[in-house]
A = this chain, B = another copy of it.
Amino acid sequence: MAVKVGKQTWIPSRKPVLIQTGVVAGPLEGQGPLKNWFDHVYTDPMAGERSFEGAEREMMLNACYTALRKADRTPESVDVFLAGDLLNQIITSSGSALQLKIPFLGIYGACSSSAESLIIATALIDAGFAQTVLCAVSSHNSTSERQYRYPTEYGIFRKPTAQWTVTGAGAALLAAEGRGPTVTCLTIGVVQDYGIKDALNMGAAMAPAAAATLVRHFADTGRAPDYYDLIVTGDLGRFGQRLAIEQAAKNGGFDLTKNYQDCGVLIYDCEKQDVHSGGSGCACSAVVAYGYLYRRMLAGEIKRLLFCATGALHSPTSMMQGGTIPVIAHAVSLEMLSGALP
C-alpha cells in the first residue's frame, strides 16, 4: 500500500521502473545541444503527413513504437496507454491510441502531462491494475502556435519572454519489474493562479507553481534539494527558471542555484537558435527527460533526479474573456536503485 507523506506526496509500495523510452524531435530541436540524445530527428516538420496535426500524431506514434521496439515489447503486452497533448480534445493522443489498440485513458495537464502520466501510471502499477503502462506526450510548434496564439505563417513579432513550443514526442514504458530509473516518490500539484494574463510570458506564469510544488515536495519528504543530483523543471525557460529560484528561496528557504536546470533552457541554444526564453510544450520536458536525462541515469551520471513538469491551464477562450492563467506542477522522483544498466 502506498504511503502518503505530508500534504501532497506519495511513496508507492510497488515502485515502477522506467524500463524504456522513445524520443523523437523536430528539425530545430535536432540542431540543438541535445540532438545526439534523441532516437529520431525529423528533417521535415510535416513528417511526411498532409497536416501539422497529422505530423504530430506520427511523432507520438513513432515515439511509442520506438520505446516498445527498444524494450522488445508489443502493444498487446501493454496493459494501459496514458497520453496527453496540447491540441483541443487531445486528438494526437486519441489518434495514437486508435493505432495502438491499447486500453486508453486520456489526460490533460498541458505541459505537466508528462509528469501527470507517470503519476497515474505509478498508481495503476502499484494497485496491480497494470504490469506495464505506456505513457506518451507530444507537442508541435505549428499546431500549438496556431491554436494558442497566431498561425506561424504570420511571422508575428515575439516578445523576449516568449518561448518556443517544442516539436517532438516522448514515450516512457513503466513496468512493475525491470531495470532502470525507479519512481520512488510523487508530489501531485495544486492549481494556482498568480494573476498573469500574458500568454507570451508562460515562464513567469508557471514558475511560482514549480517553486510551490518543489517546496511542498521538500517539506513533505524532509529532503533538501541536495538529496538530488539534479532537479529539473519542464519548460519555464530562462526567465521562468530565474523566477523559480527566487520563489523557492523566498517561500521555502531552499537554494536551487546548484543542481537545478530547466528542460526549456537545456533543449535549445537559446542565443543562437532564436527561441527567446527557451522551449515549451508537452514534448519539451518529455524529450529532455526521456532522452537526455534517462540515458545519463542509465550511464550512472545521475542517480537521483527530481522531475517537475509545469503546465499552464489556460485556453484561448479563457484568455479572450480576460482570464488569468491557472498553473500546476507535478514532481516525480526517479532514482537508480538497482545498478546502472537496464
Contact = CB atoms under 8 A, between A and B. Distances in A.
B89 A127 contact: no
Contacts of A106: 107-109, 116, 313
Given A123-B124, A318-B91, A328-B94, A103 B53 contact: no
A18 B127 CA distance: 19
A189 interface: yes
Contacts of A123: 120, 123-124, 127, 129
22 contacts: A1-B127, A2-B128, A8-B103, A10-B129, A12-B127, A53-B317, A80-B188, A87-B317, A88-B88, A89-B313, A90-B313, A95-B326, A97-B328, A98-B193, A98-B326, A101-B191, A103-B189, A104-B190, A105-B119, A105-B120, A106-B116, A127-B127
Contact of A89 (B8, B188, B192, B314): B314
Contact of A104 (B189, B314, B316): B189
Q: Chain A's interface: helix, strand, loop or mixed, by majority?
A: mixed
Interface string A175-192: 000000000000011111
A107 B108 contact: yes
A51 interface: yes
Q: Give the oligomeric copy count.
A: 2
Given A51-B321, A129-B10, A318-B53, A89 B108 contact: yes
A209 B87 CA distance: 23
B313 A91 contact: yes
A31 interface: no
A124 B1 CA distance: 10
Given A98-B326, A120-B120, A88 B191 contact: no
A39 interface: no
A110 interface: yes
Interface in A283-342: 313-318, 321, 323, 326, 328
A84 interface: yes
Interface in A206-251: none
B104 A107 contact: no
